[in-house]
Each structure stands twice: as structure tokens, then as C-alpha cells.
Structure 1
Amino acid sequence: MLTRKEFIQISLETNLFFQRIMKEHLFFIQTSLPSINESEIDEANTLKKSFEALLAETVIFGNCAVRNEVLQSNEIVTPFTLRAEQISSKLTGASLNLEITEAEYDLRSDPNFNYTQWLEEKIYNINMRSMNLLEEVINLKKKLLKSQLECEIFTTLYPLLIEHILREAELYMETLKSLQNRKLPDRTRCDDLNFWNQIMEEHAEFIDGLLDPTEEELKETAEELAETFEKILEERCNKNNEKEILNKSLKATENIRAFKKAGTEGLLACKIRSIIIPLLGDHVLREANHYLRILKEMKN
């Protein structure tokens, strides 16, 4: 059973990370569809704005209440997030609430913070509203995937990418449901290692597929990173090899994080030939930062 402080803190940290991830998934869906799919574009845009409103509220409650390690991990925002949003919004014409990002840069941690019953009730409410929105997002992603696989819709997102962002939404939902019952999700370390190693492998594969064919060196690195995570997954994590898998995952994630960071910088400076929008570069960098923080906590 989680204490009040644990419930508030973990809920806020989970929402600060995943609410942004979800609203960016919706931005990617919105900007990947042709104009003929007006209803799907409008639905993605409406859900995106709803998640932005919720995130803006979460940021207010999160100030001083979250752990310093989470803020320092750069999983909430990176030094590149605001610029990536500005460029991506300008290139696509799709709106992004930049004030949220500016507020997130000002987030602080306070070890003497008072976790009150009033705040506990507010966070419970935010979790419920996140779950309600999340249900709609999951349904939209499932609908898009089905339409795409049945050749009834065109989108520039790979089917695997839609499955990928659907899995992330389902993990977020699973986490929130557990938190509302004052528990952590019933997942083993191996479950978490397998989940995020697959996410990292697919990120490398997506990057490889979205880079221009002339970017041979970057494509080769992306392919090597994907193969590294694939090999780790093939070892099938269990209680006997968990420590070894953890160490290998940590090293591989540090490598892909460095690759993503350099890639995001290159995209922002317009020095990489690709069809990768800068916000996608920053998005996958934040997910690597998130996983790296989880791995370090496991190791300690």
C-alpha cells in the first residue's frame, strides 16, 4: 500500500512524463494524416488540446512535489524541447502550447514539501481524468491501426509505430489504474526491462527508416543499436540473468541516448537529411532519459 506521499509523488511523476508523451503522439497522428481524413485530424487535435490542459494543471501541482532525480533526468523536458516544439509547429501548422514547456523548465523539488490530503484528492482527480482521456486515445490508435491495415486510410506513420504508441498508452493506463488503488503495477523487473528494451529497439528501427538513404553512417549506427537491443531481448530475462540483462540494458540505453541527443541537435540545426520532425527526435530522447533513470534506480 502506497503512502500518501508516494501516491502523490509517483502519480505526478508518471503524469508529467506520460501526459506530454500522449499529447505528442496525438500531434504526430494529427500531422501524419492527409486532409481527406478531417474527422480523424480533428479528433487527434481535440484530444491533444485536452491533454495539454491536463498537463498544464499537473505542472502546477507538481512544482516542489516531485523528486529531484526525475527533474534532473531530462525525461520531463530536455534543453531542446521548446525549440523542437517551435520548429515542429511552424513546419506543420499544428498548434502546441509552448507555455507548458516554459513552466516545466521552472519545476523545482522541495524535500520539505507538505503532501496534504487536499493535494491527494486533487491528484486522484487528475489520474481519473487522465484515464478517461487515455481511453479515448487508445480507441483512436486502435481505430487508425485497423483502418491502416485494411488499407482504408493513409498515414505516414508505420503500422509498427502505431502499435508502438498504443503499447505506451496501455502501459500508462495500467500504471494509473494501479496507482488509484494505492499500489504499484504488478510488473517484475524483467517485465519492465523487456518493455523498454523493445521500445528502444523500435526507436532505432524507426530512425533508420526515416533517415535519408544518403545518411549511411547514421543509418548504420541506428541498425547496430537496434541489433543490440534485439540480442538483449533474445536472452529472455529471468531471475537468473536479470542482473546481467540490467547491465547490458544500461550500457545500450546510454549509447542510444547519446545517439538520440546528437540526432536531435542535428535536426534542430538542419544538418541531417531525413523525414524526422525535430519534436520526434526530442520525444524519443526523453523516453531514453526516462528508461535510463529507471535502470539506474534498479541498479541501486
Structure 2
Amino acid sequence: MSNEFVARSLDEVRFWSRIMKEHSLFLKLGFRCEDTQLIQEANQFYTTFEAIENKANAFTIGTDPQTIKKFNEEVHIAVSYIWMFKRKVLGLILTCQLPGANNFPLLVDHVSREANYFRNRLTELNTGRLEPLPDAIIDENVFFLRIMADHAKFISHLLDPSERKLVDQANNFSQEFDQLLFQARDLDSMRPQSQTSPLLDQFLDQNRVSVTSLRDFKKTARELIEACRIKSIIHPLLADHVFREAERFLAIIDMFENSLTGKPAAPLQSLMLD
């Protein structure tokens, strides 16, 4: 128990509780008007995670670690419930019980994976069993590379088909991140022999270049959507949502790079412990 535990816990909860809150909104927007029970559940989750986000923002680096540990346990329960809700929705979609709804099955699976990631992170923090650096580098990149590949696919399918150039760009990013994910899984299957500093350093450098390009593409798309300069059915908040997740991935890559090279680790961008 230390200030580091408090800082890392608040960073994770502040970032991911906002993501969970927004997932609730996006799922609700994809339901049919007659899906009143699902809409109500999504609204309840939105309220729950908004309250968690506000509570996390009220804590500081000086908050008692035991208070944060208890808070993490409460958040873990909420995240487990939204994970179950997402998997239930996925089951309904895949068994054709929501015909005409607008939530892609891959999108629902995607948001459930993020909930599971958040849940696991809370468990690791509270038990003090964080992965060794070489394992964390591979596992985090496998997770986030798949997230980035999914984002590119969602953008491609939510842009109007007449936006041919942007659709092509999104499809190219999808292919690029699929390849990076395959490479990451190859590195994963070769461990522990693959976990040398030179290989991991090159792995991070290569991913950083691609994630930076995708982040910049998302930033441009967000600005165009907000200015109503392109045709799509992408909610402006969704455009900002996927941009923030790319920023998060880049911050994690930089943190790993600093740890590998012995440089002081910079805080994640979402960390605000005033």
C-alpha cells in the first residue's frame, strides 16, 4: 500500500469508468425503440459509472490506500455487472433476437473485452500481483492492438460509403493492425525466449509508429465529424472516445519504453491527482 497504488488505481478508474459510461450510451443508441428494458439497463449503467467517475475525481494522491482498495472492490462489482450485460446483449444479437438493431456483434464483444480488461486490472492492483515488465509489454500490446484494429473496422463501417477515400484509409489501418496483432501473438507464443530487451524495444517502436498514425487519423476524423464536414453515422462522442483510447495506448507504450531503457516513467496522460 503506497502513494503509487493510489495513483495507479485512480488513473485506471478515472480513465476506464468514463469509457464504461460511454459504452452504456453507445449501446443504448444502437438498440431499437422497442427494446425498453435494455435501454433502461443501459441508462442505469451510465448513471452508475458517472457516479464512479465523479467519486474517483474527488479522491487525491493523499487518500488513504485502504479507502482506495475498498473503492476498487466496489468498482470491480459494477464492472462485472456491465460485462455480464454486454455479453447478454451479444448473445441476443448472435441468436437473432434483436433484428434491426444497430450494434455490431464485434462492437459489443469489443466493449465487453474492455470491461474484462478493466476488471482484471482492478484485481491486479488490489492483490499487488502486477505482471513482470516483459509479460506486461506483450499482453498489453496484444490487447490494445486488437482494440485499435477493431476501431479501424468500426470507422470504416460507420462512414458513409460515399466517403471512399476515408473508408479506404480506415480499411488500410484495419489491415495494418491485424498484421501487427499477428506479429504480437507470434512474440507471445515464443516467450520467454522472445522477451529480450532488443526484441521488446523494437516491438514497442514499431507499434508506436502505427498507433501514432492511427491516432492522427482519428483526430482528423473527429474534427471533421464535429464540423459536419464528412458524411457518417459516427456519434461525435464515439469519435473522441476512440481517439482517447489511442492516446492511452501511446502513453502505455511510452511508459514501457521508459521502463526498458531505465528512464523515469512518465505518468499516463489521464492521471490528474490534484
Normalised by the length of structure 1, the TM-score is: 0.79
Q: Distance in 2 between matches of 1:207 and 1:24?
A: 17
Residue 80 of structure 2 is matched in structure 1 by 135
Match of 1:170 among 102, 109, 116: 116
Aligned position for 2:195: 239
Q: Is 2:96 the partner of 1:151?
A: yes
Q: Which runs of 4+ in 1 moved over 4 A?
A: none
Supply the distance in 2 between the matched residues of 1:231 and 1:183 (Cα, whole angstroms). Answer: 31
1:255 aligned residue (192, 213, 225): 213
TM-aligned CA deviation for residue 185 of structure 1:
4.8
**Which of the residues 35, 51, 54 maps onto 2:52?**
54
Q: CA deviation at 1:226?
A: 1.4
Q: Name the Cα RMSD after superposition.
A: 1.4
SS of the residue 1:127 aligns to: helix
| Aligned equivalent of 1:197 | 145
Which residue matches 2:272?
none
Q: State the SS of the aligned residue for 1:188.
A: helix
Structure 2: distance between partners of 1:133 and 1:203: 25
Deviations for 1:204-241, whole angstroms, at most 9, x for unmatched residues? 11101111111111111111111111111222224253
Kindly state the Cα deviation for residue 183 of structure 1 after the two structures are TM-superposed: 3.0
Structure 2 equivalent of residue 273 of structure 1: 231
**Offset at residue 143 of structure 1 (A):** 0.5
> What's the offset of the Cα at 1:191?
1.0
Give the alignment partner of residue 229 of structure 1, picking from 165, 177, 186: 177
Q: Aligned pair 1:121/2:66, yes or no?
A: yes
Question: CA offsets, 1:66-112, max 9 Å, x none?
Answer: xxxxxxxxxxxxxxxxxxxxxxxxxxxxxxxxxxxxxxxxxxxxxxx
CA shift for structure 1 position 249: 0.6
Quote how far apart the aligned CAs of 1:182 are.
Answer: 2.5
Whole-Å separation in 2 of the counterparts to 1:197 and 1:25? 19
Q: Quick one: distance in 2 between partners of 1:183 and 1:7?
A: 12
Q: Residue 26 of structure 2 aligns to which amino acid in structure 1?
A: F
Instruction: Supply the distance in 2 between the matched residues of 1:245 and 1:293 (Cα, whole angstroms).
Output: 15
Deviates more, 1:125-134 or 1:286-295: 125-134
Mapped partners of 1:152, 1:201: distance in 2: 27
Q: Given residue 21 of structure 2, which amino acid in structure 1 is its aligned partner?
A: K
In structure 2, the partner of 1:216 is 164
Rounded to whole Å, the distance in 2 between the matches of 1:292 and 1:55 is 22
Contact 1:175–1:185 under 8 Å retained in 2: no
Provide the C-alpha distance between the structure 2 equivalents of 1:264 and 1:248, rounded to a whole number of angstroms: 25
Give, in whole Å, the separation in 1 of the partners of 2:129 and 2:2. Answer: 11
Residue 56 of structure 1 and its aligned partner are, at CA, apart by: 0.6
Counterpart of 1:34 in 2: which secondary structure? Answer: coil
Identity over aligned pairs, percent: 32
- Determine if contact 1:174/1:185 at 8 Å carries over to the other structure: no
Which residue in the other structure is 1:94 paired with? Answer: none
Cα distance in 2 for residues equivalent to 1:252 and 1:151: 36
Q: Return the alpha-carbon distance in structure 2 between the equivalents of residues 193 and 273 of structure 1.
A: 32
Write the distance in 2 (CA, Å) between the matches of 1:4 and 1:244: 33
Equivalent-residue separation in structure 2 for 1:7 and 1:182 (angstroms): 9
Write the distance in 2 (CA, Å) between the matches of 1:245 and 1:26: 34
The CA distance in 2 between the partners of 1:210 and 1:34, in whole Å, is 17
Moved more, 131-140 or 175-184: 175-184
For structure 2, the 5+ residue unaligned runs are 188-193, 259-274
Note the C-alpha offset of 1:202: 0.9
